[in-house]
Each structure stands twice: as structure tokens, then as C-alpha cells.
Amino acid sequence: MSHDPETLRRALLAALSSAGGDAVEDPVASGRVQDLTVDAEGAVRFALQLRAADPGALVKQLRGAAEAVEGVSSVKVNVQLPRTAQAAPAGGGGLKAGSVPAPTPRPGILADTDHVVAVSSGKGGVGKSMVASNLAVALARRGLRVGLMDADIYGPNIPLMFGQNDRPQVVGEKGSEMIQPLEAHGVKLMSLGFLLEEDQPAIMRGPLVTGVLKQFLEQVAWGALDVMVVDMPPGTGDAQLSLVQTIDLDGAVMVTTPQKVATGDVRRGVKMFERVNARVLGIVENMSGFTVPSTGEVFHLFGQGGGEALASELSLEFLGSVPIDPAVAAAGDAGQPTVVSAPDSDAAKALDAIAARVWEQVTA
Ligand SMILES: Nc1ncnc2c1ncn2[C@@H]1O[C@H](COP(=O)(O)OP(=O)(O)OP(=O)(O)O)[C@@H](O)[C@H]1O
């Protein structure tokens, strides 16, 4: 049965108006639902401007209400997060002239994923997996459909950070089986760590790495996602380069610590992304300083300001800094990313603001 787009539009606006319930001001009347379009096939798109006070489930509720309208075949919500003071852009706005690839439909791999963001670092141990995990969970808590792929197959940390070590299920007919991602804290997860024995090291050569990851991307039943976060292998070698070429990124977040040596590695990482025309969204400085809880005194154990200086030198956006916080390490070990385990900590607030800014950048 075909539906007149204008009738459908009216039905949609009515459904969206009341979808948030009493706790939320009517999202249509308040002008936060924008650019609603319906095509002849019943494919619906609209933008939703979130506010800081909105419940995390609001996007889901609105999407569900739209999907329930008769005649609607699919729903895409372009979620716009509230601006955060902490994540105000600095430096050159994150873009290098000429390095932005034209937006192209994602062919085959991740066809149902709107945006793909890689989290990368020039070297190991700087907190890349920690940033990737918290980024994914922070975005999921704002109602987005989020996937997290642990592509750090040399040391897959994501299962530990999410407290997950079950083996994923394989579903579907013989010959077209798909791996079902696990889910924790609202994020769909896949990691080579789920498929390896605990003490089995994942030592592979470059081409094998790419093969395994490509298979991951093709054979995992991710479903429709607003954003996929990819925890990249550390370093800037061939494996990383070919992975970047395989996944058609929206952009990369570079994680560094404040030391000089670490910023040198990031420089190489940024060059790698530029070589394949992938956009670098900006730089996150992790382990920026330690505040003594009893005195408030701050110790810059690993130096100070390296990430910000590097961002400005490379004309990249400085996305924010995450302090050293024992709660961050404890959260990782306890299987709960910090934005869940200690949401009021400075580290969690910084990570949440970074997530909001990253989303703003990929949807701008
Ligand atoms: N801001 C922080 N405060 C305290 N501990 C942190 C912080 N950031 C990271 N850590 C801890 O440092 C360790 C390394 O972090 P993580 O595994 O995220 O780094 P990585 O760059 O992904 O490392 P690898 O290269 O091994 O994958 C973890 O134990 C993590 O909990």
C-alpha cells in the first residue's frame, strides 16, 4: 500500500510530538525536530537537536515512534548533540585543506553504518582503547546506535574493558553465517579477543591482519548503526594503513600523552591518515596530570601541554585532555568504562565532552 507523503508527514509529526512522554517538552513544537523528509518509499529522515537534560532514551523513543507509523519503511535520525563548553574548537578546526574525502555511500562493508570513527595512537599504552571505549559508551548513552570494533588485534583490550569474555554466537543459514556482536553498556562489540583463547597471543603479519579485520567487518551482523568506533592497532605501519583503506573512515581521533616522544609518534600517525586522504578529527591528550584528592595539587607526571601544542602546530583541533585518574584504571579492570563507573569524575566529563565534539564533527 502506498501512502501520500504529506499525510505520512503529518502522522509522523503527531507521533514524534508525543513520543518523549511528559518528561520532555514536545520535540516538534519546540523546533527540535527539523528537516523531516519522507520519500515515496516511506524512508524517513529528520534531525533531532538534543539538550543536555534529555533522557538517554529519547532518540530511541523518537525513532521507535516514527518506525511505528504505518507506511514508514525506514528511519534515519541525524542526532545533534548539545554543545559543551569544554569541547569548544581550538586550533585550525580539525581540517587540512584538500584532505577531506567527498562523502560517498559506504559500499558493501558497513553499508548500514552512518559514520565510522577510528581511534588511533602512534604508539602503545597511551590509553587508546580507554578513549575508544568511553567514546562509544558516551555516544550510546546519548541514544545513538553504536558499534565498537576492537581492531587492536595485537592486544585486544576491549573484552576486558567491557567485562565481556563470552564467545559470540554464529547465526544464519549454512554458507551465509554471521557473527552476532556482543552487547554491553548499550554498545555492540566485536573483538578478536572474543575469538581467541585467553593466553593465545594474536601475533600476525600485516596481510593476515587486514584479512582478519576485513572478515570481521563483513561477517559481523552489526545491524543499522549511527556510528562505529574502531579501536585501531597502535603504530603507523602497513597493517594500520591498509585497515584505514579498507574501512572508509569519516575521521580519526589521535590519542597521545603529553610527553615529547609521544607527540612525535602522533605526527607520524597524522601523516599516515593524510596519505590516504582520511580526515583527522583532532587530538586527545591522555594522562594529562594528576590531582591529589586531599590537597587539590596537580602533578604533571608526564609533562604538560604537549597535545595542545601539537594540535596547534599541525592545525588540528585539540579535542580535550583526560587527567590521570585511578578511577580510569580501576574502571578498565572492572569491565565498566569510566563514563559509566564514575560519571562525575573529571576524566568522565572530559571523555563525554570529547565524544560530543567528535559527533558534532562527523555530522557537521
Ligand atoms: N587517564 C588515565 N588514568 C589512569 N589510568 C589510565 C588512563 N588512561 C589509561 N589508563 C590505563 O592505562 C592502561 C593502558 O590503557 P589502554 O589499554 O587504553 O592503552 P592503549 O593505548 O590502548 O594500549 P595498547 O597499545 O596496549 O592497546 C590501562 O590499564 C588503562 O586503564
Co-location of 72 and 43 in the same domain:
yes
The CATH number that applies at residue 278 is: 3.40.50.300
**Given a cut of 60, is residue 18 above it in pLDDT?**
yes
Among residues of the chain, what percentage have pLDDT more than 90? 32
Of 60, 80, 100, the residue at which a domain comes to its end is 80
Co-location of 120 and 38 in the same domain:
no
Which residues form the domain of 46?
A: 5-80
CA of 7 to the centre of ligand 1 (A): 53
Ligand 1, residues at Cβ distance < 6 Å? 121, 124-130, 152, 155, 157, 234, 286-287, 322, 324-325, 328-329, 332, 347
**Do strands 113-121 and 146-150 pair parallel, antiparallel, or not at all (unpaired)?**
unpaired
User: Is 0.95 surpassed by the pTM of this model?
Assistant: no
Q: What is the pLDDT of residues 218-258, one digit of tens each?
A: 788 888 899 999 998 887 777 677 778 777 788 999 999 88
Which is more confidently placed, 308 or 350?
350
Looking at this protein, which amino acid is placed at residue 266? V
Of 80, 106, 140, the residue at which a domain comes to its end is 80
User: What's CA 69's distance to the chain center, in Å?
Assistant: 30
**How high is the pLDDT of residue 260?**
67
Q: How many domains does the chain have?
A: 2
CA of 196 to the centre of ligand 1 (A): 21
Left if phi > 0, otherwise alpha if psi is -120 to 50, otherwise beta: which for 279? Answer: beta
What residues form DSSP beta bridges with 79? 48
Question: Is residue 285 within 8 Å of 308, Cβ to Cβ?
Answer: yes
The CATH number that applies at residue 57 is: 3.30.300.130
Ligand 1 pocket test: pick from 119, 120, 129 the residue with the most ligand atoms within 8 Å of its Cβ: 129
Co-location of 295 and 259 in the same domain:
yes
**Given a cut of 80, is residue 154 above it in pLDDT?**
no
Q: What is the pLDDT of residues 300-348, one digit of tens each?
A: 776 677 788 888 888 999 999 999 998 898 887 788 999 999 999 999 9
**How high is the pLDDT of residue 198?**
57
